[in-house]
Structure 1
Amino acid sequence: MKFLNLNSTKVLFKNSFASRIPNLLMQNFVYTLLYFFFYGLMSASAQNQPLKTYNKNDGLPSLHINDGVQDRTGYLWLASDKGLIQYNGNSFVNYTTKNGLISNNINVVKTKNNALLIGTDKGFSIKSHNVFNNFEGNSVNCILTVNNHTFLGTDKGIVRVREDYLSPLRTNFQIDLNKVNDIQYDGKFYWVATNKSLWRLDKLINPKTLDRIDVNNYTSIFIDDKTIVASTYNNGLKFITGKEIETQTITSQNIKGIKKINNQFWVISEDNGIEVLDANFNFKRTINKYNTLTTNKISTAFQDSGKNTWIATQDKGVYFFKNDNPTQKKPTISFENIEVVFKSIDSININDYEKTLQLPADKNHISFYYKTVDIGNSNNLEYRYTLNDQVSPWSKKSSIDLAYLSPGNYSFSAQSRIGKIESTPIEFNFFIDTPIYQKKWFIWSVIGLVILLLGSIIWLYIRRIQAKNKEKLTKLQLENHLLSLEQKALQLQMNPHFIFNVLNGIKALGNSGKSVELNTTISRFATLLRGVLHNSRQEEICLAEEITTLKNYIELEQQMNPKSFEYSIITNLTIDPEEILIPPMLIQPFVENSIKHGISSVENGKVDIHFFVKNDFLHCEITDNGIGIHQSKKLKTTSTHQSVALKVTQERIKSLSKKSTFQIDEIIENEQIKGTKVAFKIPLKTDF
């Protein structure tokens, strides 16, 4: 393949004229004529195309434009150093970090379905329904979408866009650590242009084939049929067919990329304008500040759907070349947004018109926003909508609010027109549910529920009356039982034999003339009788009073008993005994039983009484070192009065605690009986 360029043309002309006119002055004159001849041809060619410049006077927010693209609706999107710019043919709208962008310095912009993919110097953003989803990362230079995957070429390798983060790809350290300027896919291989080399990979994720095609500063890749055209920064164009590489030298330096426009190849330069090549890559003309533009600092060039050409620059804004042979085609209309009760529908694809949106009864306010963008005919657009069979008149309004809609099925359609040419209508179906209170199943359910509720109320009322009656009966029976037990306990509180023995002892002391002991015994006995009489009238007494009564009783027993014995009362309490309440005379029968039947037959008898609190219960343990409960029962030959007292007291304890908390056990050590232990617990009750 042979390539013709401007330098070779100049050389041919120079040799021809040099052979004919040896005079140097004549050569310079001829060169000047040739320069103005070519300049005139280029200027005439450029003047044939209507040219318009968009800058700050036209509302363009920035003069530094890096990239541009047109979405499916028709909006033009420009990537600038001051944010993302939208153009609808009439006005510019600027999106910046205040609107949610990750950065205002945007390098590249692409479209994918209804979303806009934005590469910035601080990472990546996705714009969907005026909402930006941002991903922080390195500066993004190019974007490729293949098979529902999005890949980014950054200043440090290739990055894959995941659901909520950017995932760097590990391919080769010479790719991963260098600046990736472009990525393209030819259907079989991925082509990666870095600032150091050109690469070919079978896959970007875990590649098996990884070929370095050439070493150079590659800036862009263009796939032309089966030929890969790659631009280098200062070494012209490279053509790769199979494994063969062919170089074409061009006049422009500092090349940023190559675009195909109107079956021509436009080589974009950062500071040399645009060099246009024909379909065979032969030089055709230049577009620069000397013939067409006012600057040579070009960022990119692209065409819109109307075959109009846009040139983005780094310091003069955007140039617009209108199509020489425009054909008025049918306008295209699309939904920009659909809102239900002023909230955008982001969970569905608003262009999927075959689906029917199901709405509850209270979501009966729906708004439609539709748009046709035609850069050259933006002032001639009109719209109308149809709701079921109702058709609106044509107007400039491109939205409608439908409030307080009745339940039922709805079919909404919108249409636009330019002059008399109408667009194909777009449709959206939705259904508003009937209020639940108007549904038959709900009405019958309510009736059934009311009947069931009334029946349940009546049944519960009868059950409650029966439960109350049963509870009253049980309470009366318990009260009668407790009253009977208390009466029996009062009758059995003090052993008549004990009183008789005390009185006999007092008489003996008096006869023997032991006045001191006589007075002490009478005083103690009087205190005991007074305490018993006082406590018998109370339902509850404090533990301190019970302990005092026990001490008086035991000390009298010590005086009256022919055999001496010891006793101890231990209180391990976290509460003052004055504040703990117990039924009166609850401990005395067990102590009396230990003295009369436990230690009466042993020498050096001992009775220990222990009070302690545990788990909201008052525990009491009476321990003696007597002959044991079973042996004492065998030795009983007289009155059973004391046994009746013990039985009554046990029933009192069980009635108080509602649990089986009473037990009497013999103390056995080395298979010998060492005494008896009585233990019980009652619910802890205090007077505060």
Structure 2
Amino acid sequence: MTFYLSIFVMMKTQYHITKTAMRNNFVLSTQKHSVQNFAFLLLCCFICGLINVSAQNQPLKTYTKNNGLPSLHINNCSQDKTGYIWLASNNGLIRFNGNEFTTFTTKNGLISNNVNIISSKGNTIFIGTDKGLSIKNHHGFTNFEGNNVNCILTVKNHTFLGTDKGVVRVREDYLSPLRTNFQIDLNQINDMLFDGKFYWIATNKSLWKLDKLINPKVLKRIDVNNYTSLLINGKTIIATTYNKGLKFIKNNEVETQSITTQNVIEIKKINNQFWIISEDNGIEVLDANFNFVRNINKYNTLTTNEITSAFQDNENNTWVSTKDKGVYFIKSDKPIQKKPTISFENIEVVFTPLDSININNYSKTLKLPADKNHISFYYKTIDISNSNKLEYRYTLNNQTSPWSTKSAIDLAYLSPGNYTFSAQSRVGKIESTPIEFNFYIDTPIYKKSWFIWSTIGVASIILTLIVWSYIRRIQAKNKAKVAKLELENHLISLEQKALQLQMNPHFIFNVLNGIKALGNSGKSVELNTTISKFATLLRGVLHNSRQEEISLAEEITTLKNYIELEQQINSNAFEYSIITNLSIDPEEILIPPMLIQPFVENSIKHGISSVENGKIRISFSIKNDLLHCEIIDNGIGVHQSKELKKVSSHKSVALKVTQERIRNLSKKGAFSIIELYDKRKVTGTKVLFEIPLKTDF
């Protein structure tokens, strides 16, 4: 292809020489001149055909509306840190990720749909329009109204705009026009450049050199012309003019080089070549020594000559924007082999973007309150040449997800604690360096130790006050009740003792009557024995009567003494037995004194007194925390005994007294007297009662 272009250039040069000679000598005939022109045109067509065939073999792709491009009028191209391709069009701002186009217009917050120029710093996009500047980051647009913006320059964290009326500085919330020179301030700024020491300003009238844009001390006009574009090449400043060729500025000296292309609007260095872009004549390519290499236009490579800009991306691919045919993509024959780069596009906390920090350069730990435990991560790798081969995975606290095409993740209802989130991408087997983001979710206030202990303390104080107040109230109300209960308990105790004293004289009276009978019968030996036993028994009874409770063993001993005494003084012989079916030692069981003796006495005096071979059986057992007692005799029965008592003048109060004692002992106490029958014949009486079991341990 280079060979054919060389022939074309030589022939075109020869044509200009011949044409000049014809114009000077006027000796050639019109017919001969026509033949030469026809031959030259025929040869040109042949050469262009060969060039076109060769160009068709280049990896060229066109993006138009058929590919989803929303506009065919593209003014400028750029690329951000992530790798997105950004296009400035007359129908808004366009973003391309290798697969699809996304358009941002005034509906999305853009200041104007007519975008002229794009510049990127990291992932922040500066958009120059016919109505001022828009700045886009991950959370939206920030707009500054102003004049038509032609170029954007960012130096040392300061951003300057070249407009139709001078240079403008971008402040925090407004655009500030700079006052330098009226020939700069009132003219159209086409391009600006900073070479590390000086600022260069290309206007539609001249080229200027300044040491500072704000209050400059050095302000020099280098040349007068319609300057359209600037480029640094080593220590040389290359400037393009609209129709006066290239200008090389070195040490304030200007050197001019003529080029064939007219209406030049931009110069770009691509693949160590210089691309001279014309707004209606295509692109003229020069080599490193500024020798002609080829033309790129509608006659060989493209389908239009209305070129607006050219741009080389980070993969060495070339993008050519046009006014009427969309964007051309020329894939590099020597692509840069590098591993993919991933970055965070956005981080949202409960669906609200983090707009106060630089999410891709945040080295600290983001602290979030307990209720902000829903966080979303959006990350992206842009690889224009391999957009269909991209895969992603993420890691949260050492738990890694599988590879997938999904480039976002929602983490909801996270528990309190420290988290490290990282994301990674890969193209084929080549993996990117992971990116990390650290964040911490605070513990809810109601789970914090100080809150818990404070709550416990306050609750304890309140509870103490409530209890104290309640106690004070019930103390006041219960003083009378306490006094009344004490009085009732005292009366019950007195009544209990009175009942015991009421029963004891009755027992003594009966025993003395028995001794009297022995004395009358002249049985002196038995009388002495009986008196001795009676003295022992009486001593024990008197001792027990002073006690509210005695052991069951003591009660059984007293019963044995009493029954044996009755056996001696009673004219009718009888037998007795005492059975203890207990799971507790009788020494440890407590009962009121003289509780059983009245029933035994009643059996002896009224039950078996008229029966031969009388028998009395006394048994003790424990059931359901109750002490059960049974006194069974084989006497005449309770009904006949009552009939005999009616005839006798003696009125026994033992049973009545004992029933009252049992009733006073406990509400659970039970008492019953049952006649025993065998074939409808009375065979005896059973006295049964139970009292609450009480022990001395």
TM-score for the superposition, normalised by structure 1? 0.63
Post-superposition CA distance 1:316-358 (Å, at most 9, x none)? 1001111112344211111111111111111111102522111
Aligned counterparts of 1:342 and 1:217: Cα–Cα separation in 2: 51
Q: Which residue of 1 aligns with 2:40?
A: 31
Offset of residue 444 of structure 1: 2.2
Matches within 5 A, 1:434-445: 434-445=443-454
Distance of 1:260 and 1:214 partners within structure 2? 23
Tell me if 1:107 matches 2:116. yes
Match of 1:259 in 2: 268
Q: Residues 144 and 197 (structure 1 numbering): CA distance in 2 closer, same or farther, change over 3 Å?
A: same
Whether 1:62 and 2:64 are equivalent positions in the alignment is no
CA contact (8 A) 1:17 1:27 kept: no
CA contact (8 A) 2:316 2:336 kept: no
**Separation in 2, partners of 1:124, 1:340:** 29
Tell me which amino acid in the other structure corresponds to 1:68: C
Aligned to 1:242: 251
Give the residue type in structure 2 aligned to 1:243. Answer: N
Match of 2:314 among 299, 305, 326: 305
Amino acid at match of 1:375: I
Q: Which amino acid aligns with 2:406?
A: K
- Provide closer, same or farther for how the CA distance between residues 438 and 45 of structure 1 changes in structure 2, counting only shifts above 3 A: same
Aligned match for 1:410, one of 407, 410, 419: 419
> How far off its partner does 1:28 sit?
3.4
Distance 1:18 1:200, change over 3 A: closer
**Structure 2 residue corresponding to 1:423, chosen from 418, 427, 432:** 432
- For these two proteins, the number of residue pairs brought into alignment is 458
String of CA shifts for 1:397-446, please: whole Å, max 9, x gaps.
11111111111111111111111111111111111111122121222233
The 3-state SS of whatever aligns with 1:174 is: helix
State the alpha-carbon separation in 2 of the partners of residues 208 and 456 from structure 1. Answer: 81
Structure 2 partner of 1:175: 184
Q: CA offset at residue 129 of structure 1?
A: 1.2
| Contact 2:139/2:353 (<8 A) preserved | no
Q: Are 2:330 and 1:321 aligned?
A: yes
Give me the CA root mean square deviation: 2.7
Q: 2:12 aligned with 1:10, yes or no? A: yes
Is this contact kept in 1: 2:8–2:44, CA < 8 A?
Answer: no
**CA spacing shift, 1:307–1:458, aligned 2, 3 Å:** same
Where in structure 2 are there 5+ consecutive unaligned residues? 1-5, 22-26, 471-697
- Equivalent residues in 2 for 1:88-237, closer than 5 Å: 88-237=97-246
Question: SS where residue 234 of structure 1 aligns?
Answer: coil
Change (3 A) 1:372 1:351: same
Amino acid at match of 1:337: N
2:373 to 356, 364, 378: 364
| Contact 2:82/2:342 (8 A) holds in 1 | yes
Is 1:393 the counterpart of 2:402? The answer is yes
Distance of 2:220 and 2:298 partners within structure 1: 40
Q: What is the Cα deviation at residue 43 of structure 1?
A: 2.4
The match for 2:573 is none
- Which 4+ runs in 1 deviate beyond 6 A? 4-9, 16-19, 452-461
Deviation sequence 1:367-393 (CA, Å, 0-9, x none) = 111111111111111111111121111
- The alpha carbon displacement at 1:27 in A equals 3.4
Residues 353, 426 of structure 1: 8 Å contact kept: no
Secondary structure of the 2:384 match is coil
* 1:519-557 superposed Cα distances (whole Å, 9 cap, x missing partner): xxxxxxxxxxxxxxxxxxxxxxxxxxxxxxxxxxxxxxx
- Structure with bigger gyration radius: 2
Matches of 1:399 and 1:252 in 2, distance apart?
48
Query: CA-to-partner distance for each residue in 1:281-308, whole Å, 9 max, x for gaps?
Result: 1111100011111110000000111111
Cα distance in 2 between the residues matched to 1:408 and 1:100: 37
In the alignment, the residues of structure 1 paired with residue 120 and residue 141 of structure 2 have an alpha-carbon distance, to the nearest angstrom, of: 14
Contact 2:391-2:425 within 8 A present in 1 as well: yes
Q: Identity across aligned pairs (percent)?
A: 71
Tell me how far apart the structure 2 counterparts of residues 316 and 228 of structure 1 sit (CA, whole Å): 32
CA offset digits 1:581-608 (Å, max 9, x no partner): xxxxxxxxxxxxxxxxxxxxxxxxxxxx
Measured after TM superposition, the shift of residue 262 of structure 1 is 0.6
Question: Using a 3 Å threshold, how does the CA distance of structure 1 residues 75 and 145 change in structure 2: closer, same or farther?
Answer: same
Letter aligned with residue 166 of structure 2:
G
Structure 2 letter corresponding to 1:270: E
- The residue that corresponds to 1:672 in the other structure is none
Letter in 2 for 1:47: Q
How much has 1:37 moved relative to structure 2?
Answer: 5.3
Q: C-alpha displacement at 1:199, in angstroms?
A: 0.3
**CA drift at 1:26:** 6.0
Partners of 1:72 and 1:48 in 2: CA distance:
31
Preserved contact between residue 240 and residue 264 of structure 2 (Cα < 8 Å): yes
The within-5 A match list for 1:339-358 is: 339-358=348-367
Instruction: Give ranges in structure 1 of 5+ residues lacking alignment.
Output: 462-688
Work out the CA distance in 2 between the residues paired with 1:277 and 1:5.
16
Query: What is the Cα deviation at residue 75 of structure 1?
Result: 0.8
**2:103 aligns to what SS in structure 1?**
strand
Name the SS for the 1:376 alignment partner: helix
Deviation at 1:36, TM superposition (A): 3.7
Rounded Cα–Cα distance in structure 1 between residues aligned with 2:398 and 2:270: 45
- What is the alpha-carbon distance in structure 1 between the residues aligned to residue 383 and residue 86 of structure 2? 14
Separation in structure 2 between the aligned mates of residue 321 and residue 334 of structure 1, nearest angstrom: 26
Correspondence for 2:387 among 365, 369, 378: 378
**Contact between 1:68 and 1:79, CA under 8 Å: does it hold in 2?**
yes
1:86 corresponds to: 95
